[in-house]
Amino acid sequence: MGSSSTGRRLSTADERRETVLRTAIGAFAARGYYGTTTTEVAKAAGISQAYVYRLFPDKEALFVAVIEHCSLRIREVFADAAAAANGSDPAAVLHALGGAYARLIVDKDLLLVLTQAKCAASEPAIGAAIRDTYAKEVEYVRAVSGADDAAIQNFFARGLLCNALIAMGVDQVDAPWARTLLAGIRHY
């Protein structure tokens, strides 16, 4: 990744860790936690499996790091959207956040890996990581928007519906039921 926002150069290990995380997002998005091996992630990242284990103690730790990486990316996108919102009232901010999220998930890997995380939430560390992701996102949305609980719940409910529709490819279906579910859902 080069340098961070503070100008500090990342070490080779930090760069490799970022590469593994980005690669693992795609692998876990496609095959899920249970269907993805660290060998596949290592091969896609162009490093040895042993090096993956130097960076992450096991597959579960790698998957948790992927969840945390995706969560941070969402909050970064939300921060940019909140700063650019057309007004400061809660509805305007939530609208800006929703649009930013819809643009973020055009590349479905982030959406799919978080969907896969929900499917693997019975694993204690993964369940804790995905719950922590939602806790951070809800509290961030609350803080930045000033919206009440009902508006925040609606924001996340629409987001979850959007996730399900996009993950299933419903945006590619021309049928009355699909049009009904997609009505008012932004997707790019």
The predicted-structure confidence for 65-87, as pLDDT tens digits, reads as follows 999 999 999 999 999 999 999 98
Half-sphere exposure in the Cβ direction for 74 (13 Å, CA): 27
pTM, entire model: 0.88
As a whole number of angstroms, the distance between CA 158 and CA 42 comes to 35
In a domain, 42, yes or no: no
- Which range of residues forms the domain containing residue 69? 58-182
Question: At 109, is the pLDDT very low, low, confident or very high (cuts 50, 70, 90)?
Answer: very high
Overall domain count for the chain? 1
pLDDT at position 112 is 95
In a domain, 154, yes or no: yes
Residue 129 predicted with pLDDT over 90:
yes
Residue 2 predicted with pLDDT over 80:
no
In a domain, 51, yes or no: no
Question: At 10, is the pLDDT very low, low, confident or very high (cuts 50, 70, 90)?
Answer: low
Question: At 15, is the pLDDT very low, low, confident or very high (cuts 50, 70, 90)?
Answer: confident
In a domain, 129, yes or no: yes
As a whole number of angstroms, the distance between CA 25 and CA 20 comes to 9
Helices (H) and strands (E) counted in the chain, each on its own, are 9, 0
Residue 6 predicted with pLDDT over 60:
no
In a domain, 121, yes or no: yes
Average pLDDT, the chain: 92
13, two tokens? 């290990």
In a domain, 41, yes or no: no
Question: At 9, is the pLDDT very low, low, confident or very high (cuts 50, 70, 90)?
Answer: low
In a domain, 12, yes or no: no
**Share above pLDDT 90 across residues of the chain, in percent, rounded to a whole number:** 84
**Share above pLDDT 70 across residues of the chain, in percent, rounded to a whole number:** 94
Q: What is the DSSP string of 116-172?
A: HHHHTTTSHHHHHHHHHHHHHHHHHHHHHH---HHHHHHHHHHHHHHHHHHHTTGGG
In a domain, 171, yes or no: yes
pLDDT at position 3 is 44
pLDDT at position 16 is 83
